[in-house]
Structure 1
């Protein structure tokens, strides 16, 4: 293992090599494999070993980090491990989801406010930067931040100073920023939703998160890990059915580790002894009706479900735009994040239709 991976294991106080045995008599057909562990991150695949190595290298520094990966891959877990392995691990770790805060409130969330600075400000409130002083601030979905706020964030990163809303004097802080996005940063910059100067300031050390479908043997290992944890919590001895084991390894898991963990939990609740993972992944959906399409239009029949019509319009527009997702999102008037979420849903639905029920026609591709 690399020095970075060694550092990852040593800092969290685990024996070298940091391998956690997962064999359990109740885990039928469980492969004789072991997971590496880095904080609350688990993996045995090459992409995860590389990730652990990168974490081990950057954590002891004060460099800003930009984590890029799909939703559900564990970006906040990586940020937390980086903090745990840093020199400032005893200082605060503060997390903020930039996509969950309205543009009108995010400045107060980041920088705080003085008493009476606006309606409802009945007392002075410290913001995330001030609360994270000396430690780490994790900014999730940073590309969802407005361009005006990106300018203010850039100034703080450059000067380590900011004004609370309504304050006359600046506040100085020393904070390491770890940011994350589920968008391709280059596409976000090209689409004008991420300032290039902020991107370069955040991405001193970029880290790419592998999707679960790219992690090979980790999928089955993680499923057994989640099942073992549930069995320990409930004092049970439930197992996966053989069909479930095959489906777990074949399904593309567009929601990544989060989707896998939730599916195992749902199947566990429903099972008396053997887990059936198929219903937990999601109910089978009827095949959308075939629609008429030509070079520049899509026609759907009356009675077609709204969700099916939306799917046909999105897929046809994507095809018309030559597969360019950024352009497709602009044409449809939706965010790139929304488009990615919809495409992940369609990928999951198509897989279930093909894998669990006899294959049927899935509609007509748009023609240019």
Structure 2
């Protein structure tokens, strides 16, 4: 049974938590202050500590940091909630943060989840599989739990989520938590490769198979052998190539361009799209049979607006990385933290990261967060703009209108337009070439 140490100066709270923890299958020890907590830890190392932030003989977070316990999970409890204290708790490695009066329902949920986590046997390579997936929100906990379930299998996975939600990081986490973790993980952006070259890039080609093929080329399926191939923006793949991909998934074999010799494909495929896949099927940009083959195990990545508990944690993570790289100690002002937590982040994690980076560059020591101007810039670039498309207009024409209107709103800045549209910069260039509109864009801007 997992062992829990409750450290709080309120005897009634300790007794109540102890009773609930016992019902949840924990053995329990109690301490009213730091001195008693040290004694209990020497008697038996706890698997979980519920720790009050303010104790009669010291600061709970400082006590936890000084302990340096490995293999023990900590959940902080406080009656004095603030944004700063929440960030400090997460920095200290807390798995959760409970406010007094403690919600019994939430307490049971936390204890139940921690117990399940403690009872799981780690998968090969899973120890650090979530290292890049920053967040402790319920939505992220659920996503990570699903990843742990599907990772050991050979099931194809379809990741669905808005642009900037971290689909490649989720795909890499699946790979790292799988038996394939020691083999290559190869991400491929299907929208960033020219339609004329993507077949060769995926499956390879033989020397002389087409003009310019002066040597044999191994494609991603061969180079990722034994590992995982991540196909992002799957709806950008041509219908003809989707047929070939479906055949590979069904037979486990493929052929290089220019040969009829089949090669075994020992690759796990994870695909992703920032569109509604069912709508993509209805629109004719994704084959229905391929959709069903890819979505053996669909996973939806939550947008940042549904991960409120993670916004400040991510912002602090990005800032600390910048501080480490530049040997600085810049911090967020309270008004910046408040503004970030209240903003909807339509561009998700990518937008938040860009905001932190820009603010870091502009700030001296404290990021006060001229957030209003940042938000205005986002909206003036077209977040709130609209175009009117009559019913019955072909989808290709509607896409053209949307892309050109977005590019115009962005002042011809292709990178900004691509991010707003949720497509790669290469995809945008390809579309502009199709429309014969590349020359209409002002190439003099240095902000590409």
Normalising TM by the smaller chain, what interval? 0.7 to 0.9
Per the alignment, residue 171 of structure 2 pairs with 79
Residue 173 (structure 1) shift: 1.6
1:347-358 superposed matches below 5 A: none
1:328-347 superposed matches below 5 A: 330=395, 332-334=397-399
Residue 338 (structure 1) shift: 5.2
CA deviation string 1:145-196 (max 9, x = no partner): 0111100100000111111011131111211000000001111011111001
Structure 1 residue 40 and structure 2 residue 95: aligned?
no
Per the alignment, residue 113 of structure 1 pairs with 205
- The higher radius of gyration belongs to 2
> Matched residue of 1:119: which SS?
coil
Distance across 2 between alignment mates of 1:220 and 1:70: 20
Structure 1 residue 206 and structure 2 residue 271: aligned?
no
Select the residue among 163, 182, 188 that pairs with 2:280: 188
Distance across 2 between alignment mates of 1:101 and 1:86: 28
> Matched residue of 2:242: which SS?
helix
Structure 1 residue 174 and structure 2 residue 266: aligned?
yes
Distance across 2 between alignment mates of 1:339 and 1:19: 51
Structure 1: which 5+ residue stretches go unaligned?
1-13, 22-27, 289-306, 322-326, 350-368
Per the alignment, residue 140 of structure 1 pairs with 232
When residues 281 and 121 of structure 1 are mapped into structure 2, their CA distance, relative to the original with a 3 A threshold, is: farther
> Matched residue of 2:206: which SS?
coil
Per the alignment, residue 84 of structure 2 pairs with 29
Distance across 1 between alignment mates of 2:299 and 2:222: 26
Distance across 1 between alignment mates of 2:328 and 2:372: 19
Contact (CA 8 Å) 2:336, 2:371: kept in 1 or not? no
Distance across 2 between alignment mates of 1:210 and 1:44: 13
Distance across 2 between alignment mates of 1:60 and 1:160: 19
Residue 39 (structure 1) shift: 2.7
Structure 1 residue 131 and structure 2 residue 223: aligned?
yes
Structure 2: which 5+ residue stretches go unaligned?
1-68, 77-82, 96-127, 411-415, 421-448
Distance across 1 between alignment mates of 2:72 and 2:276: 34
Residue 277 (structure 1) shift: 3.1
When residues 271 and 136 of structure 1 are mapped into structure 2, their CA distance, relative to the original with a 3 A threshold, is: same
> Matched residue of 1:334: which SS?
helix
Residue 198 (structure 1) shift: 0.2
1:11-30 superposed matches below 5 A: 29-30=84-85
Residue 284 (structure 1) shift: 3.5
Normalising to structure 1: TM-score of the pair? 0.73
Residue 143 (structure 1) shift: 0.8
Structure 1 residue 155 and structure 2 residue 247: aligned?
yes
When residues 247 and 313 of structure 1 are mapped into structure 2, their CA distance, relative to the original with a 3 A threshold, is: closer
Distance across 2 between alignment mates of 1:189 and 1:71: 19
Q: How big is the alpha-carbon RMSD for the aligned residues of Structure 1 and Structure 2?
A: 3.6
Contact (CA 8 Å) 1:329, 1:339: kept in 2 or not? no
